[in-house]
Amino acid sequence: MAEAKATPRSPIESGCPDGFRNMHPVMRKNYGNWDYHEDPQPGVLKHVAHGGDVIYTVKAATQRILDVFTLRTLCDIGDKYADGHVHFTLRSNLEFFVDKEERVQPLIDAITEAGFVVGGTKNSVTAMSHTQGWLHCDIPGTDASGVVKAMMDELIDEFKNWNMPNRVHMTTSCCQINCGGQGDIAINVQHTKPPKINHDLVANVCERPSVVARCPVAAIRPAMVNGKPSLEVDEKKCICCGACYPPCPPMQINDAEHTKLAIWVGGNHSNARGKPSFQKLVAAGIPNNPPRWPEATAIVKKILHTYKEDAKDWERISDWIDRIGWPRFFELTGLPFTKFHIDNWRGARNSLNASAHIRF
Ligand code: SF4
Ligand code: SF4
């Protein structure tokens, strides 16, 4: 692999980089002119253009957080077997592109030999998309890449094979408010107690009006504590969302005991066949238990197993639940239905946009 240039190019500070610059020549030539695609084997896509040109995509999973050695290994495979044409997907899969069928198997062999897994296409569980976690972000309540690695280690057969009723997109999110995890199955942080305020630091660290304005349920008020300007929280109103913590770290909400994970199912961003759907909570209060998160993984596997057994061909998880109904979902999965599953918060009806259609 080529070493970095002594004088790097000027960074592009605004706008999207030109997507055509690094595109495979066959893709550039046939942009907007594809006829159909096929799935020759798990992890491989074949796209055929109207003029007869063909491009093969080989998809491999990564663990998302990549050290330089691993990244160079993957790029070397790309240089040697795919003329350097690779790109990352938003789910941290790496896609390699070749334009001849005979180049597909040597590429798969090289990827597999280097310890990576090919798969994640068609009716498989593709790699989980996740937020930044402890590595990059300053407000997470858990790791995100770690949860992905631990869970995907146990779902390797579902990644490598076409053995699900339809595609399964899973997500994780390490706080409740920002990047957001919505998918067929989502594993999201759940704070279960209001923030604990360090009053000695608030005046020095926090811009109090911004913090007050952040709270979605108006639970924060300015207050004087021990003669210093600070804040107070009406704990009866607080919904433990964690939105006050980013602008004001002294409002500590992460907690080894009370920060939990929750599992949601049935979310769908696309509006291909119907309106996008919000996911629904199905399991809450799950221990946030690194490094392998066994409790959350067991529930995810149970949901996937039940979906695999009961869904009809090509039903997504949300279609399956729409058909069988939520009572049957809880019955089949054996997950307990409790009072915490009942969403009695009405604010969303006025303020949240539940469709992808643009409103003016
Ligand atoms: S989900 Fe929240 S904690 Fe995680 S990376 Fe995004 S903003 Fe940070
Ligand atoms: S956790 Fe959320 S609801 Fe509670 S005080 Fe902070 S911003 Fe308000």
Position 146 confidence tier, pLDDT thresholds 50, 70, 90: confident
For residue 208, the surrounding DSSP H or E stretch is helix 208-214
Q: What pLDDT does 106 receive?
A: 98
DSSP for 253-278 reads: ---TTTEEEEEEE--B---SSS--B-
Q: In the CATH hierarchy, which fold is given to the domain comprising 196-252?
A: Alpha-Beta Plaits (3.30.70)
Share of the chain above pLDDT 70, in %: 93
- Residue of 186 and 273 predicted with greater confidence: 186
pLDDT tens, 30-43?
999 999 999 999 99
- Residue of 118 and 129 predicted with greater confidence: 118
Q: Is the Cβ–Cβ distance between 159 and 153 less than 8 Å?
A: no
What is the spatial distance between Cα 142 and Cα 176, in angstroms, rounded to a whole number?
11
- Which residues are CB-contacts of 246 (< 8 A; sequence separation ≥ 6)? 138, 139, 178, 214
Q: Is the pLDDT of residue 61 over 80?
A: yes
Residue 55's DSSP bridge partners are 47
Q: Is the Cβ–Cβ distance between 233 and 197 less than 8 Å?
A: yes
| Strands annotated E in the chain | 34-41, 44-49, 54-61, 86-88, 93-98, 117-118, 129-130, 170-173, 185-191, 196-197, 220-225, 228-233, 251-252, 259-265, 280-287
Q: What pLDDT does 360 receive?
A: 46
Mean pLDDT of 143-163: 91
Q: Is 332 in the pocket of ligand 1 (CB under 6 A)?
A: no
Residue 74's DSSP bridge partners are none
Q: Is 111 in the pocket of ligand 2 (CB under 6 A)?
A: no
Residue 259's DSSP bridge partners are 191
Q: What pLDDT does 347 receive?
A: 63
The number of C-alpha atoms within 13 Å of 135 and in the hemisphere containing its C-beta is 11
Q: Is the pLDDT of residue 53 over 80?
A: yes
Q: Is 250 in the pocket of ligand 2 (CB under 6 A)?
A: no
**Closest by CA position to 215, among listed 236, 237, 193:** 237
Q: Is 177 in the pocket of ligand 2 (CB under 6 A)?
A: no
54-61 and 44-49 strand pairing: antiparallel
Q: Is the Cβ–Cβ distance between 53 and 26 less than 8 Å?
A: yes
DSSP for 23-61 reads: S-HHHHHTTT-EEEEEEEETTEEEEEETTS-EEEEEEEE
251-252 and 196-197 strand pairing: antiparallel
Q: Is the Cβ–Cβ distance between 189 and 137 less than 8 Å?
A: no
Mean pLDDT of 281-310: 95
- Residue of 8 and 51 predicted with greater confidence: 51
Helix (H, G, I), strand (E, B) or coil at 321: helix
- Residue of 244 and 353 predicted with greater confidence: 244
Q: Is the Cβ–Cβ distance between 92 and 133 less than 8 Å?
A: no
Mean pLDDT of 127-138: 82
Q: Is 181 in the pocket of ligand 1 (CB under 6 A)?
A: no
Q: Which CATH architecture has domain 25-118?
A: 2-Layer Sandwich (3.30)
Q: From the CA of 233, how far away is ligand 2's center (Å)? A: 8
Q: Which CATH architecture has domain 129-192+256-341?
A: 2-Layer Sandwich (3.30)
What is the spatial distance between Cα 334 and Cα 328, in angstroms, rounded to a whole number?
10
Q: Is the pLDDT of residue 352 over 80?
A: no
Q: Is the pLDDT of residue 351 over 70?
A: no
Q: What pLDDT does 293 receive?
A: 94
Q: What pLDDT does 357 receive?
A: 61
Q: From the CA of 128, how far away is ligand 2's center (Å)? A: 28
Least confident of 48-62, 176-190, 309-323, 339-353: 339-353
Q: Is 243 in the pocket of ligand 2 (CB under 6 A)?
A: yes
Q: What pLDDT does 285 receive?
A: 93
Mean pLDDT of the chain: 90
pTM of the predicted structure, to 2 decimals: 0.87
Q: What pLDDT does 2 receive?
A: 60
- Residue of 32 and 10 predicted with greater confidence: 32
Q: From the CA of 143, how far away is ligand 1's center (Å)? A: 9
Residue 188's DSSP bridge partners are 173, 262
Mean pLDDT of 78-105: 94
Which ligand 2 atom sits nearest the alpha carbon of residue 195?
A: 1
Mean pLDDT of 207-224: 91
Position 130 confidence tier, pLDDT thresholds 50, 70, 90: confident
Q: Is the pLDDT of residue 129 over 60?
A: yes
CATH 3.30.70.20 residue window(s) in the chain = 196-252
What is the spatial distance between Cα 127 and Cα 63, in angstroms, rounded to a whole number?
9
Q: What pLDDT does 299 receive?
A: 97
CATH 3.30.413.10 residue window(s) in the chain = 129-192+256-341
Q: How far lies 195's CA from each of 129, 132, 192, 238, in Å?
A: 28, 22, 10, 9
Mean pLDDT of 262-283: 85
Residue type, 344: N
Mean pLDDT of 215-239: 92
Q: What pLDDT does 281 receive?
A: 92
Q: Is 134 in the pocket of ligand 1 (CB under 6 A)?
A: no
**Closest by CA position to 277, among listed 355, 351, 345, 188:** 355
Q: Is the pLDDT of residue 125 over 70?
A: yes
Residue type, 227: G
Position 283 confidence tier, pLDDT thresholds 50, 70, 90: very high
